[in-house]
């Protein structure tokens, strides 16, 4: 074989090897990109199975209206401004509220009303949870739904832009709600005006953080020690008398 033919054949072989390498690298990049896209899609949905869901100690006091707890004619009314993704709100819901319920709500001394703040509308997962809880409230299960959301807060709101609708349906099934009515309510979104009204009220009241409470109109900021709530309630009772 002449040297010219040898060099030509060698160049062809190198070109083939380079083409194969490019194809392999391209395929690898494609797999990586595909994995990233798949992970992004997966992370944008939160679909907790029943075995993955933490079951809380459900609220026992009676619901009034769509989001009130206790006796609506109670001498002390606590208006709570909250956010389902707020960790301090979660601590209040799973700890302090339980103590208030046993000592004051079940005994008819205190009524608790749940409200949201404006920034929940900027977080799709939180907005879905908020609207779903109000839809459960139409069937008298607002507080049980609320308890489920807060008990599973860490799993639900890792990505505030996630779609949590499937898990909201699972919660509704666990509470044995009328699923046709629940899904219709979620689809029609009748409580968005209520959420917007809460946003406006929170702004007027200068609520800048959550949770924020108004105990017969007197502000108490944050999930403070239970004794501070007790003192505020006792003060309200004295003023009321």
pLDDT of residue 40: 38
pLDDT of residue 240: 75
Nearest to 6 by CA among 14, 26, 198: 14
Neighbouring C-alpha atoms within 13 Å toward the C-beta of 174: 21
pLDDT of residue 3: 53
Q: Please report, for the chain, the start and end positions of each structural domain, with discontinuous segments joined by +.
A: 1-43, 53-240
Structure tokens at 31: 């797999």
pLDDT of residue 19: 54
Fold topology of 53-240: Glutaredoxin (3.40.30)
Radius of gyration of the chain (CA): 27
The secondary structure element, H or E, covering residue 146 is helix 142-151
CA–CA–CA angle 223, 120, 179 (5° rounding): 100
| pTM listed for this prediction | 0.82
| Burial bucket for residue 174 (CB in 10 Å: 0-12, 13-18, 19+) | middle
pLDDT of residue 32: 37
pLDDT of residue 29: 41
Count other C-beta atoms under 10 Å from residue 220's C-beta: 18
pLDDT of residue 5: 55
As a whole number of angstroms, the distance between CA 219 and CA 215 comes to 6
Q: Mark the ranges of the chain whose per-residue pLDDT is less than 70.
A: 1-43, 241
pLDDT of residue 42: 42
pLDDT of residue 44: 86
Structure tokens at 174: 């666990």
């Amino acid at each position: 074989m002449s040297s010219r033919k040898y060099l030509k054949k060698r160049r062809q072989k190198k070109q083939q090897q380079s083409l194969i390498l490019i194809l392999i690298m391209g395929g690898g990049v494609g797999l990586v990109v595909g994995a990233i896209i798949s992970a992004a899609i997966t992370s944008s949905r939160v679909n907790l199975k029943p075995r993955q869901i933490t079951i809380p100690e459900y609220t026992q006091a009676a619901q009034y209206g769509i989001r009130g707890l206790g006796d609506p004619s109670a001498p002390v009314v606590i208006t709570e401004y909250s956010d389902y993704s707020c960790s301090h709100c979660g601590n209040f819901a799973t700890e302090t509220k339980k103590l208030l319920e046993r000592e004051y709500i079940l005994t008819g001394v205190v009524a608790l009303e749940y409200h949201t703040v404006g920034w929940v509308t900027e977080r799709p997962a939180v907005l879905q949870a908020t609207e779903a809880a109000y839809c459960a409230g139409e069937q008298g299960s607002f507080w049980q739904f609320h308890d489920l959301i807060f008990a599973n807060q860490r799993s639900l709101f890792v990505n505030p832009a996630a779609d949590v609708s499937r898990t909201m349906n699972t919660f509704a099934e666990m509470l044995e709600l009328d699923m046709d009515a629940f899904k219709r309510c979620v689809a029609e979104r009748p409580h968005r005006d209520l959420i917007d009204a809460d946003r406006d009220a929170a702004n007027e009241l200068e609520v800048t953080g959550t949770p924020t409470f108004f105990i017969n109109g007197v502000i108490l900021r944050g999930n403070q020690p239970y004794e501070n709530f007790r003192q505020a309630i006792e003060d309200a009772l004295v003023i009321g008398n």
